[in-house]
Amino acid sequence: MNLRRLSTLMRREILATFRDPFTVSILIAVPLVALLLFGQVLSTEVTGLNLGVLDASGTSASRRLVAELAVTGTFKPLPYATRDALEHSLVSGAISAALIIPPDFDRDLDVATGDVDRAEVQVIYDGGEAVLAGNAEGFLRSLIAASGANLVSQALPAAPAVPQPNRRGTASGGGSGIEMVVRSVFNPRLDGRPFMVAGTFGFVLSFLTVLITAVSIVSEKLTGTFEQLQVTPATPVEILLAKILPLGAVFALDVLLMVLVAGFVMHVWAEGSTLFFLLVSSFYVLVSLALGLIISATSQTAAEAVQKSVLFSIPLVQLSGFAFPIRSMPWPVQWVAEFFPATHYIRVCRAIYLRGEGPIALLPELILLAIFGVILMAFALRTIEARQ
Amino acid sequence: MMNPIIHARGLTRRFGDFTAVDHLDIDVLPGSIFAFLGANGSGKSTTIRMLIGILRPTEGTIEVDGIDVIRRPRLVRDHIGYMGQRVSLYRGLSLRENVEFYAGLYNLSGAELERRWGALRERFSLGETEDEKAEDLPVGIRQRAGLALSTLHQPRVLFLDEPTTGVDVHNRGLFWELIQDEAKAGVTVFVTTHFLEEVEYCDWVCFIDAGRLIANDEPEALRRRYSAGYRIDIELPPEACDPAKALIRAAGHPVERTSIGLQLRVPELGAGTLATFERIAASHAGTIRIEQAPMTDVFRQVLAESGRPT
């Protein structure tokens, strides 16, 4: 090996790397963004989750229980007057979990002993948000156990203060004094598979469509065929549709294949209409393909297009709710997440797969997806438009 | 005088602070071959992209075949053919499949397509390569195929952007014969090139440098203006040199003795001048060699007079 030659080669590589602003920005931005995302935004720590509280007891003990839940910062209690309103907010995502304190909570707490839990509270979560529900349940269990033990210890000073959660869904054992009855509005067993299967549709369709189309226009630019196409009578709309419709059909078949494999192999079928799911997915594929075309049309080289696609996929995985619950992210990040079409599509997937929701219930999300579709298609058309 | 089929006035394109094309006035007559010459980066491709309507000028007006290209860029596309620097055949498709693809964009199919493509295939000698994949075609054939495809819809104006780049001398000659055939058939050809010798095939020449037109005329007129014209070498026996010299001087041309005979320069070859030389050669069994000033020298002189370093 010739060291001089090696150093010459290395010098050229270094110059090539650092003279490309895009590469430099990737080298700096990606590690920082990943660090911030994983370290801060995507921490599994549960903080500031909205907890709907229906306090039918209205006593000092129930108020103290709620106050103690609030003081840890894990939950932000929001009072509700009726059970219907509580469940509606839970399904709509306004709250992450619900706590119902019955009217006789205070009286039952008084007769609780170190061996028998008498006071009951009910916790309801949306099993459709399996990760979030699991986290919330775990935290509520330990917090209610600790609060219950404190409340009982004031009435019965000999009672042990350390709670021992058990498998019955109660936070009693060891005499915490409060039994936590858990109920899920959907997916009661908190089975992670439907949650992940539904999310995977979003991830695969978003990432793969963008990656496949990202190189399509830029490759044609490099070979000269795109310029030739621009001089023919073909209109931008025709070029756009010719790019996305064939691929859209292929991806629609992909969705069908995934639905069948998920059903027959993993035994995960949509609770709602499969046909509706296929229709929504086919539309989403077109939206995502348009995004890929924008990346492609605004890139100078195929390598740049691929880099942009990969860069795009990082927030897709992290912020779209595919792997991490959006509701447990800081609110500015939650806002950012709302600007990803994938966020809404994954939400729709899970609503159809886990909650069996139909077009009426999902209308707001569908409208948002349609708006994203119109905006992205319009922008894709603009980038394909011949005159610069 | 005929109305120009390409008519541009004050054509300007800026990219930020950089002016790529600076107030060009271009007129191209129907059925002519118009050479647009310049060094790399001089603004040739930017100009052609504006003329075909895929780049919007910052200022100026363009009309091609009577159509306002700036306001109605789509309308002009049925009237023009274009072949870029990279011949735009789709890789993975055979030549025949490429033909069908481009024909489809112009709504050509069936018997009409077969008729047109059959004629082009024969004229461009492409029959044996029709089933070859585009990427497997030799460069010369690919260029011919590109030109054939750009004429498939029978455009009135053909824009060729450095069409012979990367093509060997033999194939360049063949290619230019095909371009001349197109012009003879009435197609106007606007061609950019940096091969200065290709000007010989053209009716009109335009030199561009740093986005500005620095010369715009017929090739012969440019030679007259920017070179010493023609160099004539007359090979004669020594005893014939003096009488011949006297004859030439009498015709008004300064002449010098050389080791083989006489040498002189004339700004242009008029019929009278040629007749004088032929008479001398015939009476003294001499031979005449006429050399044009190479266009490279003309271009250098044009650049020098425009104030640019050569």
What is the pTM (predicted TM-score) of this model?
A: 0.71
Indicate if A377 and A240 belong to the same structural domain: yes
Interface probe, candidates B76, B105, B147, B159, chain A, greatest A C-beta count within 10 A: B105
B193, B218, B243 - which closes a domain = B218
Rounded to 5 degrees, φ, ψ at A46 are -100, 120
Identify residues of A whose CB sits under 8 angstroms from chain B CBs.
223-225, 227-235, 386-388
Pairing mode, strands B18-28 and B59-64: unpaired
Maximum mean pLDDT: which of A30-39, A109-118, B257-266: B257-266
Total domains in the fold of chain B: 2
Q: Give the chain A residue whose CA is nearest to the CA of B147.
A: A228
Indicate if B146 and B178 belong to the same structural domain: yes
In a domain, A159, yes or no: yes
Indicate if B184 and B210 belong to the same structural domain: yes
Indicate if A177 and A202 belong to the same structural domain: no
* Mean confidence (pLDDT) of chain B: 88
Indicate if A157 and A74 belong to the same structural domain: yes
Total domains in the fold of chain A: 2
In a domain, A41, yes or no: no
Indicate if B211 and B237 belong to the same structural domain: no
Q: Which of A11-25, A209-223, B282-296 has the lowest mean pLDDT?
A: A11-25
In sequence order, the β-bridge partners of residue A181 are A122
Residue A168: the pLDDT is: 37
A184, A207, A231 - which closes a domain = A184
Residue B244: the pLDDT is: 86
Residue A313: the pLDDT is: 79
Per-residue confidence band for A161, with pLDDT thresholds at 50, 70 and 90 = very low
CATH number for the domain harbouring residue B25: 3.40.50.300
Those residues with Cβ within 8 angstroms of residue A136's Cβ, 6 or more apart along the chain or in another chain: A46, A49, A51, A75, A96, A97, A125
The two three-digit tokens of residue A24, written as one number: 């430099």
Indicate if A166 and A230 belong to the same structural domain: no
Give the DSSP letter of residue A32.
H
Those residues with Cβ within 8 angstroms of residue A113's Cβ, 6 or more apart along the chain or in another chain: A156, A159, A175
Pairing mode, strands A119-125 and A178-184: parallel
- In chain A, what percentage of residues exceed pLDDT 90? 15
In a domain, A276, yes or no: yes
Of A223, A233, A388, Cβ closest to residue B88: A223
DSSP letters for chain B: -PPPSEEEEEEEEEETTEEEEEEEEEEE-TT-EEEEE--TTSSHHHHHHHHTTSS--SEEEEEETTEETTT-TTGGGGTEEEE-SS--PPTTSBHHHHHHHHHHHTT--HHHHHHHHHHHHHHTT-GGGTTSBGGGS-HHHHHHHHHHHHHTT--SEEEEESTTTT--HHHHHHHHHHHHHHHHTT-EEEEEES-GGGGGG-SEEEEEETTEEEEEE-HHHHHHHHS--EEEEEE--HHHHHHHHHHHHHTT--EEE-SSEEEEEESS--HHHHHHHHHHHHHHT-EEEEEPPPHHHHHHHHHHHTT---
Helix (H) or strand (E) holding A373: helix A363-384
State yes or no: pLDDT of A245 exceeds 70: yes
Residue A175: the pLDDT is: 47
In a domain, A38, yes or no: no
Across residues A354-361, what is the average pLDDT? 90
Nearest to B54 by CA among B90, B80, B93: B80
**Three-class SS of residue A336?**
helix
A11 vs B232: which has the higher pLDDT: B232
State yes or no: pLDDT of A172 exceeds 70: no
Whether the CB-CB separation of A105 and A135 falls below 8 Å is answered with no
In a domain, B154, yes or no: yes
Rounded to 5 degrees, φ, ψ at A349 are -55, -50
Question: Which residue type does B81 have?
Answer: G
Contacts of A224 in chain B (CB under 8 A): 84-88
Nearest to A354 by CA among A16, A126, A19, A35: A126
Residue A357 to residue A272: CA distance in whole angstroms: 6
Residue B208 to residue A78: CA distance in whole angstroms: 74
Whether the CB-CB separation of A388 and A360 falls below 8 Å is answered with no
Indicate if B125 and B241 belong to the same structural domain: no
Print the domain residue range for A163: 49-184
Nearest to A348 by CA among A270, A256, A268: A270
Of A223, A231, A233, Cβ closest to residue B52: A231
Distances (CA, A) of B66 to A319, A361, B49, B151: 55, 57, 18, 20
Whether the CB-CB separation of A140 and A155 falls below 8 Å is answered with no
State yes or no: pLDDT of B171 exceeds 60: yes
Per-residue confidence band for A152, with pLDDT thresholds at 50, 70 and 90 = low
Indicate if B38 and B158 belong to the same structural domain: yes
User: Using alpha carbons only, how large is chain B's radius of gyration in Å?
Assistant: 23
A162, A184, A206 - which closes a domain = A184
A146, A165, A184 - which closes a domain = A184
Indicate if A360 and A299 belong to the same structural domain: yes
Whether the CB-CB separation of B229 and B186 falls below 8 Å is answered with no
State yes or no: pLDDT of A39 exceeds 80: no
Residue A353 to residue B274: CA distance in whole angstroms: 93
Residue A113: the pLDDT is: 55
Per-residue confidence band for B165, with pLDDT thresholds at 50, 70 and 90 = confident
Contacts of B85 in chain A (CB under 8 A): 224
Nearest to B70 by CA among B45, B42, B49, B84: B49
Indicate if B60 and B82 belong to the same structural domain: yes
Interface probe, candidates B79, B86, B106, chain A, greatest A C-beta count within 10 A: B86
Per-residue confidence band for B195, with pLDDT thresholds at 50, 70 and 90 = confident
Residue A163: the pLDDT is: 40
- The sheet with strand A49-55 has its strands ordered as A75-79, A49-55, A97-101, A119-125, A178-184
Interface size, chain A vs chain B, as Cβ–Cβ contacts under 8 Å: 52
Indicate if A327 and A236 belong to the same structural domain: yes
Report CB contact under 8 Å: A386, B90: no
Indicate if B14 and B86 belong to the same structural domain: yes
Print the domain residue range for B168: 6-218
Residue A164: the pLDDT is: 40
Maximum mean pLDDT: which of A57-61, A193-197, B26-30, B219-223: B26-30
State yes or no: pLDDT of B197 exceeds 70: yes
Residue A20: the pLDDT is: 72
Residue A110 to residue A62: CA distance in whole angstroms: 12
Indicate if B204 and B287 belong to the same structural domain: no
Indicate if A286 and A150 belong to the same structural domain: no
In a domain, B202, yes or no: yes
The two three-digit tokens of residue B101, written as one number: 């693809």
Indicate if A180 and A196 belong to the same structural domain: no
Q: What is the pLDDT of residues B49-75, one digit of tens each?
A: 999 998 999 999 999 999 999 999 888
The shortest C-alpha distance from B6 to chain A (Å) reads 16
Residue A46: the pLDDT is: 63
Whether the CB-CB separation of A323 and A343 falls below 8 Å is answered with no
Across residues A162-181, what is the average pLDDT? 50
Residue B41 to residue B216: CA distance in whole angstroms: 19
Give the DSSP letter of residue A1.
-
Whether the CB-CB separation of B57 and A387 falls below 8 Å is answered with no
In a domain, B305, yes or no: no
Per-residue confidence band for A298, with pLDDT thresholds at 50, 70 and 90 = confident
In sequence order, the β-bridge partners of residue B213 are B208
Indicate if B119 and B37 belong to the same structural domain: yes
State yes or no: pLDDT of B22 exceeds 50: yes
Indicate if A357 and A320 belong to the same structural domain: yes
In a domain, A10, yes or no: no
Return the number of other C-beta atoms located less than 10 Å from residue A211's C-beta. 17
Indicate if A175 and A271 belong to the same structural domain: no
Residue A343 to residue A182: CA distance in whole angstroms: 28
Residue A118: the pLDDT is: 67
Indicate if A144 and A248 belong to the same structural domain: no
Q: Which of A40-44, A47-51, A64-68, B44-48 has the lowest mean pLDDT?
A: A40-44
In a domain, A376, yes or no: yes
Contacts of A230 in chain B (CB under 8 A): 54
Residue A117: the pLDDT is: 54
Q: What is the pLDDT of residues A84-101, one digit of tens each?
A: 888 888 877 788 788 888
CATH number for the domain harbouring residue B274: 3.30.70.3400
Indicate if B98 and B172 belong to the same structural domain: yes
Residue A44: the pLDDT is: 54
In a domain, B65, yes or no: yes
Helix extents (H) in A37-129: 60-71, 83-92, 105-111
User: Using alpha carbons only, how large is chain A's radius of gyration in Å?
Assistant: 27
Indicate if B26 and B156 belong to the same structural domain: yes
Indicate if A237 and A378 belong to the same structural domain: yes
Per-residue confidence band for A369, with pLDDT thresholds at 50, 70 and 90 = very high
Per-residue confidence band for A162, with pLDDT thresholds at 50, 70 and 90 = very low
